[in-house]
Amino acid sequence: MCSTPAAGAAGVISAIDLAPENAAQVAVRTAAGEFLCPVEVRTGDVTALPYADAAFDAVWSANVTQYLPDAALCAMLCEARRVLKPGGRLALKETEDSAFRLHPLPPLLLWRLFDALAQAGEMTIIGGLRGLYLPQFVGQAGFVQVQCSVTTIERWAPLRPVETALVAELVAWLADKAETLALPDGDLAQWRTLADPAAPGYLLRQ
């Protein structure tokens, strides 16, 4: 956050998050002196920012747009433009799930699940597959000089504990979602095995 050279000790950060527990965590870190400059944090909705017009030099958003339907995404971007000063900068960091892989999980098994989840209206998947189209939404909101870059993130075994926990949680979430859908029996059986730590085919044992 504020420890970056762009903000510096003279900067001020206003942080907002929909989840009270996330806002509380930022408040704790701020009180502990982790940041170089003051950080004001509150709970709120990015589609209705509680800030004055032209209040900020920059707006930074990480892993938020994935959870917003198209109309809410447009509202968020319009709000970002409203609170930015003329010449201000918007930066969005988001997932791009069209290249998502969990090796050695069969790709078609994952894509059948993704397709079924998208058809069922699961915004986590729909938004994650919209990543490459974000520049279009940003341009339609009135921003100019829109640029996009894709960074590949790879995690290979042996995983660090934090990575192991991340993958375990992700596989468990996917397997739980699979149980709610009309997938082939063979797919459901595979998901149960992949997510079961007691099964020989548990993904994190491969």
Mean pLDDT estimate for the chain: 93
Q: How confident is the model at residue 31 (pLDDT cuts 50, 70, 90)?
A: very high
Q: What's residue 11's pLDDT?
A: 86
DSSP 132: G
> Do 198 and 131 form a contact (C-beta atoms < 8 A)?
no
Bridge partners of 39, per DSSP, are 13
Look at residues 19, 20, 8, 7 and name the one whose alpha carbon lies nearest to residue 60. Answer: 7
Tokens of 66: 């994935």
Q: What's residue 3's pLDDT?
A: 38
What's the whole-model pTM score? 0.88
Q: What's residue 10's pLDDT?
A: 75
Return all residues near 140 (Cβ < 8 A) that are at least 6 apart: 74, 77
87 sits in which H/E element: strand 84-93
Q: How confident is the model at residue 206 (pLDDT cuts 50, 70, 90)?
A: confident
3-class secondary structure, 40: strand
Q: What's residue 6's pLDDT?
A: 62
Note the pLDDT tens digit of each residue in 156-175: 989 999 999 999 999 999 99
Phi, psi of 72 (to 5 degrees): -70, -35
Look at residues 61, 56, 2, 69 and name the one whose alpha carbon lies nearest to residue 29. Answer: 2
